[in-house]
Amino acid sequence: MNKELKALDYLMKGDYEKSAFDLPEYELVRKALTPPTAEEVCKAMSEYLGEEVRYCCGKYCNVFYRVYLGTELVELFDGEVRFCSSDATFYLTPSLIKMAVDFFNSSEEKK
């Protein structure tokens, strides 16, 4: 996040000749503020776990789950993020959990 804060500080000063939208700092800040998609979360979890992770969006529950084992990892249920099994505690890094939470938060805002 340090790179993003430095880029934001640079953009806030406004002492540049090009349009702010053409600067690499703008792209860095935009990317940091854009929530991940379900596909990005699945890809990151799959790469980390070494097995396929999918996302299922249902009427009452949205969940990321391990395909091979069939275990649910992280779900959004009734507006709350829950860890569905001990697998999430032991196999997901804080950055992967944050990524899933950021995705869930952005999907809730769209409703």
Mean pLDDT of the chain: 80
Specify burial of residue 101 (Cβ count, 10 A radius: 0-12, 13-18, 19+): middle
Q: Is there a contact between 111 and 43 (Cβ–Cβ < 8 Å)?
A: no
Residue 52's nearest CA partner among 70, 67, 72, 63 is 67
Taking the domains of the chain in order of start, what are their residue ranges?
Answer: 2-33, 38-109
Q: How many angstroms separate the CA atoms of 108 and 85, rounded?
A: 23
Point out which residues pair with 61 in neighbouring strands.
Answer: 77
Q: pLDDT by residue (tens digit) across 21-71? A: 566 777 777 777 888 999 999 999 999 989 899 999 887 778 888 888 778
